Each structure stands twice: as structure tokens, then as C-alpha cells.
Structure 1
Amino acid sequence: MRVAIIGGGIAGLATAALLAADGHSVALFEKKNEVGGRAGSLTIDGFRFDTGPSWYLMPETFDHFFSLFGSSAEEELDLEVLDPAYRVFSEQDSGATVLDIARDAEANIATFEAVEPGAGAELREYLASSKESYDLALKHFLYTSFTNPANLLSKDVLTRLNKLFPLLTQSLETFVGRRFTDNRLRQILGYPAVFLGSSPDLTPSLYHLMSALDLTGGVMYPQGGFVTLISAVERRALEAGATITTGATVTEILTERGRRARATGIVWRDADGVEHRHEADIVVGAGDLHHLETTILPKELRTYPQRYWDRRTPSPGAVLVLLGVKGELPQMPHHSLFFTRDWHENFAAIREGRMPSPASAYVCKPSATDPSVAPEGHENLFILIPVPAAPAIGKGGPDGTGDSSVERIADEVIGQMAEWADIPDLADRIVVRHTIGPGDFAEDLFAWRGGMLGPAHTLRQSAMFRGTNQSRRVEGLYYAGSSTIPGIGLPMCLISAELVAKRLRGDTSSAPLASLG
């Protein structure tokens, strides 16, 4: 069949690769001048910044994807395991305390025990539970579109219902709080909720499965940055026969009306404003689902009209701060987390539309691992500050020229980092500065409410309760990416592409594809 894919992020590229390898005629259209979507890249004065994902987790999903093409993640990427996996700076009355999370689970158990007597044994049990939940999710809940109820009636699932039910009905915050007292330990185990676009008090405790990844040696980095992962997936798409057109903004999904509407192609506009039509039997929306459904699809054919989104919870927005810094910064490893003491107020501010102050932040220093991302004698810093999902907060820009709210919180967090990590001259050593705000996410990525990730992983927006990957109103219209099942993150987006391929095959199993073609 003729397939048109809207969006050249990892989900769109992976969908193009899988469907082209399955024998379809695939054409992908990307609004920006380069592919990658949220996993973008920016080069300034010799510094190369990843502007999106920076944690390589769930390695099984990448290995599986590349294995379908007769390759592996090891062959495609130069992966390095990080140790420490990350460092945690926690706000205290007298500055900040520091804890390192190692690649070795036993070392992390010892760290927890040193902080809180008895916490080591609790963490051992916690990690065993998280591993069991992770394995169950991979086997039954991630590689399925939930169209076959029999998949949920397997012995594996039924015998664990007594464990699954409380994991779905209590929050991650409650689950962690019943086991650990120290605020720092609670934050380490609760923070994965932010990478799921949510907060610990709104995220189901089933997602404690994330700790089976970052606390047990699962944090890796691809040398050259995440752009190398995007390039590898793009290469697979092109080699399979897909075509990719960049600078192509899709403005309409064409349909044919009969007893039921059917997708017949798309209309796209090039950089000169000239409109083109592309006929197709299948259309896959691999970009922001809110934009697709509420902007480029006729109102009467929307599975997810605006009233649906009005009842949904977005992920937070983000202010990104990209810094080139002169000299070394040994105080910070590849990944660092800066936690405010009262992060309930931090999350409350974001939900209520207020800019948090002080703000928790995540900092990536890829130059700790990859010499290609910064000139010799310099460091590369990527700072992510969760803020409300609100384009009105504004856009960023070079050298402090972004909107005032964006630059103000960037300055504040740079100051916090300098104080907590004991780098008093940090601001004076900055030689490159570029900010990105929620307004940029909304304009560049059509992101719903300027969010950085997609719909948050709350209970009613997870697993079978998340948006389906096939239109209920238009035959031949499918969805991939973080807006739909299985959810947020690079591994999930890879799986979402595979779910589209399985849909077209009529495969209703919960197992990954065994082969292509």
C-alpha cells in the first residue's frame, strides 16, 4: 500500500523503516529542515547540543528494533555505560548534599543503607518488584494495541492481579513513602515520574518499574549524542526504500466520504508556501496527536476533538538552557539532578500554572563522556527545568535574548547550580548560551500546550486508557509517537511504530514482531 507518514521524529522514522521493509511504498513528511523531532540537535560555535532525550534506557527495545533489520544496537551505536549513572544534589539548609547512583545495584543498596538504616534491604525488595513489573510490562502491556482481551487473561497476568491492582490504584509517591523515610531517597525513586511527563503523586506506582533500569546499570550514552540514534533509524528507513521530505508542513489529511470516511492522502506546503498533494492508502500521524486531530483533520472526523483534550493532563512544559562553559566542571558527572527540598510545592506550582522558585532541574554534561560535543578545554551543559505547559511563558533565544520569563528562570537555576555544586564562577565562564521555551515547543513541534513530552502518564492516560493508535472515524488513519500507546520516551516511540506495523498485518498479539517482509 501507499503510506504517507506525518512527522520525522523517531516514531515516524521507525514507522517508515518497518512499513517499507514490509513492502509498502512509504513517504515521510517532516515540517522542520531536519529529522529527529524532539530528539533534535543544535550546533553553536563548536558546541553540539542534543536538544531532547538524553537517557538511553530500555536497551532491549533498541536491540529488538535493529534486530528486525539484521543488526543490533551494538553494531549501530557506540554505547558507553555511565558510572555514576547520575549524581543527586539535594537542597538543604546549609547548601546541598550529594548522593551518587552507581551502575551497580549492590553499590546503590549500600548507599541507601548508609543514608537510612534498613533502606538497603527495602531497596533490594523494591528493585526485585520493579524488575518483575518491568518484565511483565514488556511481555504483556507494551507491544500490544489492547485489541485482543485474551492477551490480558494470560496466566502471567491473572496470577499477578493481587499485585497489579494496588500498583495501578496507588500513586508512586505513596508506594515509595511507605518504604523509605529520607526525603532524598524518596526523591530518587519518585523522580522517574517526571520523565513520564507527570509527578509522583499522580503517577501509578506500577511505574516503579523504571527503577529496574536506572538503579541497576541501565543508563548508557551513544557516543556522538542521540543524533546518532536518529541517524541510525533514518538510515534503516532509507535503505528499506522510504522517501523523506523535510521542510514539508502537512496542512490537511485528505479523505473520501462513503459509508465510512477513508484516508486518501495529505496536502503539504513547502518552504516557499507552495501546496502539494500526495495520494496514499494509509496515513500515519507520527507527530503531535492534538495538532493532527484538531487542526488538519475535518471536525466531524475527529476521534479526539478538543473536548477530549480539555479533560486530559499534559506533561509539564520545559525551559531548556544550553551552555558552553570554559574550563572543566568536575563537580558534575554526565547526569545530575538538582532537587529542591519542597518539591511538592515545585510540582504544585507547575500544575497551577506558576513558575517554580526555587526550581528542581536536570543537567546533562555529555562532554564528561563525549569529547566531540565541546571544544577542547570546555564543557557542554544541557539544563532541563520543568515549568507549566503554557506557550505564553514564551520562547528562548541566543545570549539571553529570549522572553523574560524564560531567561529569568534560566538565570535562577544557573545560580542554584553554582551554589549547590560549589562552582562559584560558573556564570562568568559561560561562553555560549541558548534557551528554548514552551513557546518554541508549540511553534516548532506543534506540541500540545507547549508540553515537552506529550500526555502525562496518569492512570487514565496509561496502557489501555491512553489514546488508541487507530482512528475510529477514518479508515486507514493511524497514529504513532508519544501521544498514543504505549507512551512517552524513545523506547516507547519505537514500540508505537511497531504497533502500527502490527495493526496493518492484523497481528493482535502482545509479542514483538519476529521478522519483517
Structure 2
Amino acid sequence: MKRKIYIIGSGFSALAASCYLAQKGHQVTVFEKNETIGGRARQLIKNNFTFDIGPTWYWMPDVFERFFEDFGKKPSDYYELIKLSPAYKVYFGVNSFVTIADNLPEIIATFETVEKGSGVVLEKFMAEAQSNYDIAIKDLVYRPGVSPLELITPETALKVGQFFSTISKEVRKRFTNDKLIQILEFPVLFLGAKPSDTPAFYSFMNFADFGMGTWHPKNGMYSVILAIENLARELGVTFKTNASVDKIIVENKKAIGISVNNKIDYCDLVLSGADYHHTETLLDPIDRAYSEKYWEKKTFAPSSLLFYVGFDKKVENVEHHTLFFDVSFKKHAEAIYDNPSWPEEPLFYASFPSKTDDSVAPEGCEAGIFLIPLAPGIEDTEELREKYFLKIMSRFEEITQQKIKNNIIFRQSFCVSDFIKDYNSYKGNAYGMANTLLQTAFLRPKLKSKKVGNLYFTGQLTVPGPGVPPSLISGKLVAALIEKNK
């Protein structure tokens, strides 16, 4: 039976779901509250500079390939991929840095120069990480989180101990050098939790990093959004922007339509790719599956303070992706997860896409994106944004040994209140609910509403979790569940 399906939101998961559902012959319409599609992966264009507002890391290229392959396509049909070489640089202080190459043999050699004997250890660690990747990304994450039995396979039975240990413990068993430990713990930050709270099985993120490399889609991550939009339109999906959904219409315990800009529009099924908590506020309290107390108890991925900066000259001594781990990771993590507050001295990340891609900045100029991870729900003022911009700029200048403050043409910031305003994000979190042991697979909010028929969810607060590749997978999972339940 072909149905009229309305999708709320147009981020990666919603776009992916729209493609799969349209492929099955359903009449699909996507409603986006903002002027442009893309959800958190929108684009900022200003003074001839182009910035990705949200995700800037392109990891797990195989997941993107698998997505397009489902439609008889390839990523290269829509956008050009550039492998970053080196992948990124990590600063630990002035004249103290480690550069991560674009291939594992060189990374192993780098580790060996930092800590004697660590190269061999890394090789073994990466073999385990690849094994976990093969189990997780090629199999487990493509399961809908309906039952705990989904996690029980002959392969996972051999790795059960890794679900009860942590990344932090496993890395520290093998390595003693603080720099190497921080580099190995870094990838799991994409999962939204501290390494000390992330199951050791998630070392597959290290394989995504060292084993598969870091990529850049020409013209930025938004080119991937445009690619999936083009695919969706080819499949017959309709898009409506500036379309704010203010109510999900429920009758006899079934979703029968939505109110868009205060006008009711009827359909057969509603799928929300918007923030899960926000979507439930579009329902009457009796129809909500999860209470406020439920959400309060969950561990959310951090929010972020972001700056999009245009420089009138080239910035030196940095790579496309550059991490600044010159202050205490432990103290910053405590300010995010244990005692939500503004960190005294924040770690931060800087991206300079114009190092790779001439199209994103005028000639002789540099486009810079700076990100400070923050606790969701904390105070957000212009004064605090300014204070922290000056903090990281001073450290940036000192560590990279150059002056750049006076070369800023413009800057624009984005923080907790913007995540709430633009994306209805719970407490202004930047990328969903963290993947801790008790928030994995079947323990995450469900793809299908437990209270309302014909109401489904997709995205970073449901399965499989945070990040762009998991969001694409989430769209596939919910579309399959809808087909199964028709």
C-alpha cells in the first residue's frame, strides 16, 4: 500500500528516509522550518566565504557509498571527494604537535617516534578496531533497536567484555604517553560521551579515523546534503521550506496529519527527523512516549560554541583540521558532563577548509571555523561568546606563532541558544544523545512511537546514534520499519 508520508525536518536522517520511502513508491513531502534544507548541516555564505554551519568531518566513506548504492548511484555521481593528507594535526602546546598522516603505516611510524614500542601496539589495537568496525558498521548498526537480541551474534559474543570496559581503560592499558592517549580517545568524542563512559567496543571509531582516513567533499559537507536532495527529487520527493510544524494531529491514537504554520494538512503517516524531544511536544501530553524526567536523566552530546571567521590572509602552521589539546582534557570534560558550566580553559578545534578547497574563500584569504565543546543547557550570552573567542584566539596565536586577530574581515557565532532557535534542539545539544552503554541500540528512544500509530522518528536521538553516517543509517532503518509495519 502506497501512502502519503509527511517528514518533519530535512537533516541527513530525514533526507535519507525520504529517498528510501519514495523509492518504495510512497508520496513523500519534507517540511523544513528554515529557509534552506539540511538541518544542522546547513551552509553559511558571507562576503564570498562559504562555511559548513554544522558537520565538517567526512568519515566512514563506505557508509555514504552504501547509501548511494541502494539507489544504483555513487557519491561521485553527485560530488567530488578529496582525501586529506595529512588527515589532521593535534597541538599540545607551543612547538609541540603530532601530525596524523592519511595512512596507517605512517601513523604507526609516528606513534613509534613519540613512544618507543607503541607502533607495534598500535598495529594490534587497530586490528581489533577493524574487527569491531566490521561487526558494528557493516552489521549491528543496520538493526532497528527493537530488541536486545539484535546485539547477540556469534561475533559479539566473543567481544562481550568490550561492552563492559571503556575506551579510556583499553587505551591506557596499552599506551602511557599522554599525547597518544588523547589522540586515540579523540574519535569517540563524536559519539557524544567521555572516553571513560564509552564502551571499549567503540574502538571501531579509531579504525574509521586511522584506517579509512579523513575526507573533504568539494564545496563542503553541504554538497552531500545537496546530493541527497537531488537524489530525493529524482525519486519524486517534494520539499517545503519555511514550513514550521506546530502540531502533530492525532485521532483515535493514530497520527493523521500535521499543522504547518497553523494550517492543518492531512496524511497517512508522520515521520519526524526533527529533535525527538521537541517532536513529542507537538503531541498532547497523553500521547508522549517519554516524560520530561526521562529526558532529564539522559546523557546528551555536548553543545558547541562555533565561530565562522573570514581572514584577509592565509593562516600558517595549521592543517585543514587542527585540534588544540594544550589544556586539561579532564577539566574540560568535567565542565561538560559532571558540573555543567563554561570551562575555565577550553580545548578547541579549528577547521580551515580553504586549505583544501579554493572555492570556499576569496583568493589569498582563509575561511576558519572554530569550535569549543560545551555542556548543553548552559547560559549563552554575547559577552560570554566574546570572552571565549578572545581566549582561544590568544592561545591560537601563541601556539601557531602568528598574529591573526587584526586580519579578521568578519566573524559570526553560533551557540546554545542558536541550536534551540534554529533546530529546536533539546537544551541546545549539538549532535544528539550520547552513545553510552545504557544508551546504546535498543536502550535508545524508539524509531516507532509507543503511544501513537503511524508516527515514527529518525535521527541522532534514536538509533543508531550521533554523527552523519549513523544519521544516514537511521533514515534507512526507519524506512524499513515503516515498510515492515504497513
Q: TM-score, normalised by structure 1?
A: 0.91
In the other structure, the counterpart of 2:75 is 73
- Provide the rounded CA distance (Å) in 2 between the counterparts of 1:132 and 1:309: 33
Residue 266 (1) aligns with residue 258 (2): yes
SS in 2 for 1:455: coil
In the other structure, the counterpart of 2:116 is 117
In the other structure, the counterpart of 2:24 is 22
Q: Is the 8 A contact 1:84 1:101 kept in 2?
A: yes
Q: How far apart are residue 300 of structure 1 and its match?
A: 0.8
- Provide the rounded CA distance (Å) in 2 between the counterparts of 1:146 and 1:50: 31
- Provide the rounded CA distance (Å) in 2 between the counterparts of 1:126 and 1:48: 38
- Provide the rounded CA distance (Å) in 1 between the counterparts of 2:270 and 2:294: 22
SS in 2 for 1:56: coil
Q: How far apart are residue 235 of structure 1 and its match?
A: 0.9
2:344 to 332, 350, 357: 357
Q: Is the 8 A contact 2:148 2:442 kept in 1?
A: no
Q: How far apart are residue 413 of structure 1 and its match?
A: 0.8
In the other structure, the counterpart of 2:237 is 242
1:412 to 391, 406, 412: 391
Amino acid at match of 1:432: F
In the other structure, the counterpart of 1:139 is 138
Q: How far apart are residue 140 of structure 1 and its match?
A: 3.0
1:433 to 392, 411, 423: 411
Q: TM-score, normalised by structure 2?
A: 0.97
- Provide the rounded CA distance (Å) in 2 between the counterparts of 1:87 and 1:150: 41
1:176 to 171, 176, 180: 171
- Provide the rounded CA distance (Å) in 1 between the counterparts of 2:241 and 2:51: 21
- Provide the rounded CA distance (Å) in 2 between the counterparts of 1:72 and 1:362: 31
Q: How far apart are residue 250 of structure 1 and its match?
A: 0.5
Q: Deviation string for 1:116-147 (max 9, x for gaps)?
A: 11111111011101100010002331111133
- Provide the rounded CA distance (Å) in 1 between the counterparts of 2:334 and 2:61: 33
- Provide the rounded CA distance (Å) in 1 between the counterparts of 2:133 and 2:462: 20
In the other structure, the counterpart of 1:210 is 205
> Structure 1: 5+ residue runs without aligned partners?
270-274, 395-402, 508-517
Amino acid at match of 2:65: D
Q: Which residues of 2 match residues 291-370 of structure 1 at below 5 A?
A: 291-293=278-280, 295-351=281-337, 352-370=339-357
- Provide the rounded CA distance (Å) in 1 between the counterparts of 2:148 and 2:430: 33
Cα 1:173–1:96, aligned 2, differ >3 Å: closer, same or farther? Answer: farther
Q: How far apart are residue 23 of structure 1 and its match?
A: 0.4
- Provide the rounded CA distance (Å) in 2 between the counterparts of 1:355 and 1:391: 8
Q: Which residues of 2 match residues 374-393 of structure 1 at below 5 A?
A: 374-390=361-377, 392-393=379-380
Q: How far apart are residue 151 of structure 1 and its match?
A: 4.5
Q: Deviation string for 1:259-289 (max 9, x for gaps)?
A: xx111011011xxxxx221211111010100
Amino acid at match of 1:119: S
Residue 475 (1) aligns with residue 449 (2): no
Amino acid at match of 1:284: L
Cα 1:463–1:151, aligned 2, differ >3 Å: closer, same or farther? Answer: closer
Q: How far apart are residue 43 of structure 1 and its match?
A: 1.0
- Provide the rounded CA distance (Å) in 1 between the counterparts of 2:415 and 2:95: 27
Q: Deviation string for 1:76-106 (max 9, x for gaps)?
A: 2100000100000013xxx351110001101
Q: Is the 8 A contact 1:319 1:410 kept in 2?
A: no
Cα 1:248–1:454, aligned 2, differ >3 Å: closer, same or farther? Answer: same
Cα 1:146–1:453, aligned 2, differ >3 Å: closer, same or farther? Answer: closer
Q: How far apart are residue 312 of structure 1 and its match?
A: 0.4
Residue 82 (1) aligns with residue 61 (2): no
Q: How far apart are residue 40 of structure 1 and its match?
A: 1.2
Superposed CA RMSD in Å reads 1.5
Q: Is the 8 A contact 2:60 2:212 kept in 1?
A: no
Q: Which residues of 2 match residues 27-46 of structure 1 at below 5 A?
A: 27-46=29-48
SS in 2 for 1:277: strand
Amino acid at match of 1:457: N
Cα 1:146–1:450, aligned 2, differ >3 Å: closer, same or farther? Answer: closer
Q: Is the 8 A contact 1:85 1:217 kept in 2?
A: no
Q: Is the 8 A contact 1:315 1:456 kept in 2?
A: yes
> Greater CA deviation, 82-91 or 143-152?
143-152
1:486 to 464, 467, 477: 464
Q: How far apart are residue 73 of structure 1 and its match?
A: 1.1
SS in 2 for 1:267: strand
Aligned positions, number: 483
- Provide the rounded CA distance (Å) in 2 between the counterparts of 1:19 and 1:205: 35
SS in 2 for 1:193: helix
- Provide the rounded CA distance (Å) in 1 between the counterparts of 2:267 and 2:208: 40
- Provide the rounded CA distance (Å) in 2 between the counterparts of 1:53 and 1:382: 11
Amino acid at match of 2:263: H
Q: Deviation string for 1:133-184 (max 9, x for gaps)?
A: 0100023311111336665444333xxx242x22111221111111111111
Residue 449 (1) aligns with residue 427 (2): yes
Q: Is the 8 A contact 1:391 1:439 kept in 2?
A: no
Amino acid at match of 1:369: T
Q: Is the 8 A contact 1:80 1:223 kept in 2?
A: yes
In the other structure, the counterpart of 1:9 is 11
Q: Deviation string for 1:392-417 (max 9, x for gaps)?
A: 323xxxxxxxx111121111111111
SS in 1 for 2:174: coil
- Provide the rounded CA distance (Å) in 1 between the counterparts of 2:145 and 2:260: 32
Q: How far apart are residue 479 of structure 1 and its match?
A: 0.5
